[in-house]
Structure 1
Amino acid sequence: MHTSKELGASDFEYRSNGQSVTRREVMPSITPTDRIGVVMGAPTEGIDAGNFVLSCVTAFYDCLRDSSKDFFEYPDYFTFQTTASPADYRMLDIYPDHKNVVTEPETEPLVQAISDRAIDILLVPNWDSSSSEIAEITRRSAERQISHCYQYAGPERLSDSDFSIELPRHLVEDWYQTTAESGSETSEANRQTVLNADTERISQRFCRIGLERALGSLPASASN
């Protein structure tokens, strides 16, 4: 809940085609009941989706403020990590710890885990899309529940991005650094470029995609 006191909607800048745009032009509206899932292969890969998550977290707390002056709640946002040593994303207000979900590196159990948590906004990494072998009942569940899909990646790795989200570095760098250091598999080599860039603002890029492409871009799909 610490972000509710340290971030505000005015801290975010959204850009598309080189122009400043509003949040509602590029992102879904957020309600207190929305459930967001960020899929990743490497434990710290999800840091590249951090600005998107924090934008949604901020919108979530704004919704709570509209209905109550006092609250002690966390959004139902999850990470899905195909690793035995997951990173801890509590600094992005993905909390308690059980919301960092460890899954097998296979498409079927990964999609099952996503559907079991009724995710309706799904973020997947910029992996090469491939065919995904999913049981029909699992696919139908995903189709019924997931309404928005986005692909994320480091700034050099997503050529067809629809929009970017920027935040002042001094507000979030320590949160991202703590997250990067929380995974036992994390090495200096695989820490995200966002932590090393010498800029005053952290900019991350995103592309809205369809569900089929999202399912084909799951980290597990490459090994199926």
Structure 2
Amino acid sequence: MHTSTTMHTSEFEFLVGGRSGTFDDALPGLTVTDRVAVVTYSPGGSLAAAPLLLASVGRYYELLRSRGESFYRYPSYYVIHVGRQQAYHGWLDVWSANKEVVVAPHGEAVLEALSDRAITRVLLEDAGSKPGELMRENANWFLEDVRDVLTFTPGRREGDFSVRSSDAAATFAVRAARASHGILTDQDIDRISARAYHPQGFDRITQSDGLGKLCAYGPTPGVLGQDDEYLRRHGAGAATMQHHRFKVS
């Protein structure tokens, strides 16, 4: 909650198509019940999303203050780490450690982590797009319930829209980089710290295209990534699981 009085959406710079915009151009209609997740696969890659993540934190606290009540709470914002811990994000109000979620390096594992947390807005570090197979019920949840799917490439300043951090937000991004020493090298930290004061671009994609982005994090292993013993105990053989297959092309 160290950001509850220091993040103000009016202090972030939003550009949409080269013209001045607002927070609502990025994540329209964000409410305190929205659940935001950044998915990252490279060391420190998630910190490139800090401008939009911290602007969202600012909006969350603005909405709470508008109620005129005292509060002590954090937003339901998460970082999904593909394969291993890629950075630490407590300085960005992704707090506490339970909101740093490490998953196996494949699309179904990422999708399950998002579904389990009922995420409504997703920021994907872009790893390209690939075909693959996912659990149908989880893919349908993503297609039907996730409101916004955004992609970003660390250091890319342009996109459908860009966000430049406030000075306070940039300072917290630098602190997050330094707190991640050991995961990040000194050179990584210097690069991320310099980048914290520049705009970061984001692209808005469809939920269907988002599934292809998830598959690019790695092929789903085995029987749709499911535990063999669990399937055996429930009599879920190949014929049963065929109904659960969702092909991403």
Please give the range of the TM-score, normalised by the shorter of the 2 chains.
0.7 to 0.9
Question: Contact 1:164–1:206 (CA<8 Å) still a contact in 2?
Answer: yes
Residues in 2 aligned to 1:33 and 1:42: alpha-carbon distance in whole angstroms: 29
1:180-221 superposed Cα distances (whole Å, 9 cap, x missing partner): 233332123444844225x9x431111111112222223x62
Aligned to 1:211: 207
Aligned to 1:135: 135
Residues in 2 aligned to 1:15 and 1:32: alpha-carbon distance in whole angstroms: 24
> Which is worse superposed, 63-72 or 98-107?
63-72
Aligned to 2:41: 41
Aligned to 1:180: 177
Map 1:68-147 to 2 at 5 A.
68-147=68-147
Question: Contact 2:7–2:58 (CA<8 Å) still a contact in 1?
Answer: yes
Is 1:13 the counterpart of 2:9 in the alignment? Answer: no
Gaps of 5+ in 2: 220-249
Give TM-score scaled by structure 1 length. Answer: 0.88
Residues in 2 aligned to 1:43 and 1:79: alpha-carbon distance in whole angstroms: 13
How many angstroms does 1:86 deviate by? Answer: 4.3
Question: Contact 2:79–2:101 (CA<8 Å) still a contact in 1?
Answer: yes
Question: Contact 2:7–2:57 (CA<8 Å) still a contact in 1?
Answer: no
1:133-184 superposed Cα distances (whole Å, 9 cap, x missing partner): 211122112223211100112343x76x10111123x423332222223333
Q: Say which SS state the counterpart of residue 217 (structure 1) adopts.
A: helix
Residues in 2 aligned to 1:132 and 1:192: alpha-carbon distance in whole angstroms: 36
Q: Say which SS state the counterpart of residue 15 (structure 1) adopts.
A: strand
How many residue pairs match? The answer is 218
How many angstroms does 1:109 deviate by? Answer: 1.5
Aligned to 2:57: 57
Q: 1:167/1:85 Cα in 2 relative to 1: closer, same or farther (>3 Å)?
A: closer
Residues in 2 aligned to 1:182 and 1:216: alpha-carbon distance in whole angstroms: 32
How many angstroms does 1:85 deviate by? Answer: 3.2
Q: Letter of the aligned partner of 2:178 in structure 1?
A: E
Aligned to 2:216: 221
Aligned to 1:3: 3
Q: Give RMSD over aligned pairs.
A: 2.1
Structure with greater Cα Rg:
2
Residues in 2 aligned to 1:208 and 1:150: alpha-carbon distance in whole angstroms: 5
Gaps of 5+ in 1: none
Q: Letter of the aligned partner of 2:218 in structure 1?
A: S
Aligned to 1:31: 31
Q: Say which SS state the counterpart of residue 128 (structure 1) adopts.
A: coil
1:167 corresponds, among 143, 165, 169, to: 165
Q: Letter of the aligned partner of 1:116 in structure 2?
A: D
Of all paired residues, the percent bearing the same amino acid is 26
Residues in 1 aligned to 2:171 and 2:83: alpha-carbon distance in whole angstroms: 24
1:37-68 superposed Cα distances (whole Å, 9 cap, x missing partner): 10000241111111111111111111111113
